[in-house]
Chains A and B, each alone.
Chain A
Amino acid sequence: MKLSKTEEDMLNGHMTPGEQKAMEILVALGEIYGAEKMIPITSAQVSGVSYKNLGDAGLEFLKDWAGSGAKVKVPTTLNPAGTDIENWKNLGISKDFAEKQSELIDAYKAMGVTPSCSCAPYMIGNAPRYGEHVAWSESSAVAYINSVMGARTNREGGPSALAAAIAGVTPYYGLHLDANRKAELVVEVDCDMRDEADYGALGYIIGKKIGSKVPYFRFAKKKKIKPDWLRTLGATMAAAGSVALFHIEGVTPEAKRQSMVLSYAKKIEVNDLREGYSALNSDASDIDFVAIGCPHASIEELKEIAGLLKGKKIKSDMWITTARKIKDSAGSLVDEIEKSGAHVVADTCMIVAPIEELGYKTMATNAGKAACYAPSHCGLSVRFGPLKKCVEAAVTGRWS
């Protein structure tokens, strides 16, 4: 790899030990992926925050890295933690877990990372512009900013995104290059796309089929697609497969500017979403937990949920997870939702919180990504369907 003078200095230990470690990681990855050089980044998003996933191993490493004087050089935001930082007691999270979680976040803070604790930082101020190179490691956010915002990032792991933030650069390969952003597959969707659950089901089918390839969608029924539906499509493809970029004809910015389909692209037709729905649904009928907000809920989603819950009391537990900044800006919406008995939970989500310790057996969700991960990651039987149906399940305690 060709390195600049500053990059060489970092690598050779002429700057801080923290920067040397960061550059060693980036050079090794650059060599593995055949990058010719590094490219400066404008922001980073770091995953690997929940104590449930990192354990003492991650905690020790992050403390040591922070202790070596490492500081981020670009605005860097943090993925969801394992618990609501302020309100863990009410959710039934243990004190020990909450304390370890705080230690982890403190280590990130010491490195200059903003403790935003959200998987959707693009909604709360970390929003890259078209064509900007960044290093992000939350798979749903990677899919969203690449596809819907036209930014450029590879699907980083937690340590490599943090290393990029500390060095201020990332290896120049993969989705940073024009040539790799074109679609190898055209997906023709003929069926009606009614709501977020339909986009989740579609995301599951395509993610399973194509792995990490770039798809180009053509929807036969022209209908306005809500931004939240695009979020769930990308999040589910990134969970069921490892899709990091997709295009939609007439919708996503790169597809609007130029042809994004490779000449040899193959075609996939989708006429029916049943395959997705049946894979994401168990046969559970009693529902003891309803989880909404994966990716973290937007203000629009909070409004819709408040409307559906108006005047109702819920029987099962219900979390609506979002970024603290969004919760704080939601005003009376939070009270309106919580009057029903539901919790508007900040900083965490149903996947990275220690849900299995809270005694739940079954979960209903409208999120394709959560439905992919909850069975293996949290040991839950899942019901997956649109928001309206999930709210009904919360009220009756049953999936019908």
Chain B
Amino acid sequence: MRGSRSNRKMELRGRIIKKGNAEGTALVAKSPMSFFGYIDPDTGVVTEKGHELNGKTIKDAILVFPTGKGSTVGSYALYRMKKNQVAPRGIINSECEPIVAVGAIISEIPCVDRVDIGKIKTGDWVRIEGDKVIVKEKQ
């Protein structure tokens, strides 16, 4: 990769939930996330009080979080964000559950799970390629 001399680069592997390629800046949460009720579907801004990403936008990020939670309507909510162009470019989980899996599939957002997400930090540059996750550390 160009310009990677000063940045540490690593390659992680996971399990494909929605096949595809995506790249962008990582936005990392340590606690579970719900796309329904806790993220504004028109802006992509997290509105969950007490959540570490509260106030941040998921738009165009590679969104990294352990697993999903909450209502099954969350799958549809992610689809709406995609149509509103405020969805994340890719999703990486420790363990994907059905709400996020179905949401990623219907919204055509590349999604990988069983990744050691402790190795990714907010601001890192991340590329998802099928089951491969390439991480370039922020300087």
Contacts and interface: CB of A to CB of B under 8 A. Distances in A.
Interface of A: 21, 24-25, 28-29, 31-32, 47-48, 53-58, 60-61, 65, 157-160, 163
Contacts of A58: 73, 76
A160 B98 contact: yes
Contacts of B99: 157
B97 A54 contact: no
Interface string B37-72: 000010000000000000000000000000000011
Contact of B79 (A28, A32, A61, A160): A61
B83 A60 contact: yes
- Give the most central of A29, A57, A158, A163: most B CB within 10 Å: A57
B120 to A, nearest CB: 21
Contacts of B80: 55-57, 60-61
Contacts of A29: 98, 101-102
B37 to A, nearest CB: 10
**Interface pairs A-B: 9 shortest CB-CB:** A57-B80, A157-B72, A58-B76, A57-B76, A61-B79, A159-B102, A28-B101, A57-B77, A24-B105
B76 to A, nearest CB: 4
B9 interface: no
A157 B101 contact: no
A157 B98 contact: yes
A160 B73 contact: no
Interface of B: 15, 17-18, 41, 71-73, 75-77, 79-80, 83, 96-99, 101-102, 105-106
8 contacts: A24-B105, A28-B17, A29-B101, A32-B17, A48-B72, A57-B80, A60-B79, A160-B98
Given A32-B101, A57-B41, A57-B79, A25 B73 contact: no
| Dominant secondary structure at the A interface | helix
Given A48-B73, A53-B73, A57-B73, A25 B79 contact: no
A376 to B, nearest CB: 11
B71 A159 contact: no
A55 B72 CA distance: 13
Nearest to B84: A57
Contacts of B71: 53
Contacts of A60: 79-80, 83
A21 B106 contact: yes
Contacts of B77: 55, 57
A79 to B, nearest CB: 12
Nearest to B97: A32
A388 B105 CA distance: 48
A31 B18 CA distance: 12
Contacts of A47: 72
A25 B96 contact: no
Contacts of A21: 105-106
Listed residue (B41, B71, B72, B99) with the most chain A CB atoms within 10 angstroms of its CB: B72
Contacts of B83: 60
A328 B80 CA distance: 37
Nearest to A28: B101
Contacts of A61: 76, 79-80, 106
A128 to B, nearest CB: 22
A159 B41 contact: no
A257 to B, nearest CB: 31
Nearest to B17: A28
Contacts of B75: 157, 159
Contact of B72 (A28, A31, A32, A159): A159
A47 B17 CA distance: 23
A23 to B, nearest CB: 10
A48 B76 contact: yes
Q: Which of the listed residues B73, B77, B83 has the most CB atoms from chain A within 10 Å of its own CB?
A: B73
A373 B118 CA distance: 36
Contacts of A160: 98, 102
B102 A28 contact: yes
Nearest to B104: A28
